[in-house]
Structure 1
């Protein structure tokens, strides 16, 4: 294992780096409502009122409108957009460009949600705890908890867990104390 790999896999060093990065995220992006364990994977355009829970993540090249909150352990992959619902279009005799804007609705993304790369989430949507959105999906309606949705527009594919008792066990974890001393470690490859 290389020296760089050893450093990246060292929990103490990673913890110090995460604290440094947290301060940098708050300063550069002006994000005052994100937990210190929130992480961002690269440059994105994120509204300053963004709310992010513990150990949540936003990948590079995301575009996130105002009024968005994500829960603890939620992952948003690269190139995800949370946009839309920001132009009136149904005023007869007035072009959309001159029709004004409706009041922007809040977008709530629960805990332990995984939103796949290149997905679009329309504002005003609620995505329940434990749900997964397949890469490249366009979410136009609310998503029930522990559901997997995919497609354009996104449709229900299947439940995330086998049984309701599995969902209850997972919900108990999500409602419980924050998991301690856990983090994603860098990917390691065979023969590296």
Structure 2
């Protein structure tokens, strides 16, 4: 039986590599048919994707689980991260699905119907987000562009763009940049540029102000000059 399961995993990994040839998919990745990844994405071993969309140049480290989520481009997601935590009813006598949801994969139920609609809301991780190891993110949360989530955090509410948050529950610590820089970076939408333009700008990424100035120069020149 162990050998059979191992062979199934090999076949599944091979099929995923065939399906997404322009990305790097390590052994043991589990993706359902509703999940899609863009080019130049990296999924490390034992990553689980269910009803997930992952943008280009994003990587997800080993043993992370992504449920019902849209993830943008250039995101850095560490290992053992869980995105899309489900909810249970707290107004009932028990929070166990044995009493309210007979569709769950359990051997026994005290109900013959589904009495609580455990809706898995879509979680949105925008582009250029860095999520540290062992982070847990509740379903339905929106993480803004360029945000940083500290390792071990539990995120229960939306996170602003370029905000650094940490803790249980996660709280705002500081912004990565001053307000004018944040606004200009968001307005630029640099993560939507084609690879040629990004490559041209990448040498200035060490200094956000310098990058924005260079971007302004390129825009004045016109895309045909890039």
The alignment's TM-score, normalised by the length of structure 1, stands at: 0.72
Task: Find the structure with the greater CA-based Rg.
Answer: 2
Conserved? CA contact 2:130–2:148, under 8 Å:
yes
In structure 2, do the counterparts of structure 1 residues 179 and 96 end up closer, same or farther at CA, with 3 Å as the change threshold? Answer: same
Q: Distance in 2 between matches of 1:178 and 1:117?
A: 30
Q: Distance in 2 between matches of 1:23 and 1:120?
A: 24
In structure 2, do the counterparts of structure 1 residues 44 and 169 end up closer, same or farther at CA, with 3 Å as the change threshold? Answer: same
In the alignment, structure 2 segments of 5+ residues that lack a partner are 1-19, 102-116, 200-226
- CA drift at 1:38: 1.3
CA-atom RMSD in angstroms: 2.5
Aligned to 1:106: 122
CA-to-partner distance for each residue in 1:152-183, whole Å, 9 max, x for gaps? 1100000011x22211332214354134486x
Aligned to 1:96: 96
Aligned to 2:170: 154
**Larger RCO: 1 or 2 (CA < 8 Å, sep 6+):** 1
CA-to-partner distance for each residue in 1:59-89, whole Å, 9 max, x for gaps? 1110122x20111111111110114233223
1:1-192 alignment, distance < 5 Å: 20=21, 22=23, 29-30=31-32, 32-47=35-50, 49-65=51-67, 67-92=68-93, 96-97=96-97, 98-100=99-101, 101-161=117-177, 163-171=178-186, 172-174=188-190, 176-180=192-196
In the alignment, structure 1 segments of 5+ residues that lack a partner are 1-18, 183-192
In structure 2, do the counterparts of structure 1 residues 155 and 105 end up closer, same or farther at CA, with 3 Å as the change threshold? Answer: same
Conserved? CA contact 1:111–1:174, under 8 Å:
no
CA-to-partner distance for each residue in 1:124-167, whole Å, 9 max, x for gaps? 11101110000111101111111000011100000011x22211
Question: What is the aligned length?
Answer: 159
CA-to-partner distance for each residue in 1:95-152, whole Å, 9 max, x for gaps? 5322234211110011100000111111111101110000111101111111000011
Q: Distance in 2 between matches of 1:69 and 1:130?
A: 15
Conserved? CA contact 1:35–1:53, under 8 Å:
yes
Conserved? CA contact 2:165–2:172, under 8 Å:
yes
Conserved? CA contact 1:52–1:69, under 8 Å:
yes
In structure 2, do the counterparts of structure 1 residues 103 and 121 end up closer, same or farther at CA, with 3 Å as the change threshold? Answer: same
In structure 2, do the counterparts of structure 1 residues 28 and 118 end up closer, same or farther at CA, with 3 Å as the change threshold? Answer: closer
In structure 2, do the counterparts of structure 1 residues 115 and 165 end up closer, same or farther at CA, with 3 Å as the change threshold? Answer: same
Higher helix share: 2
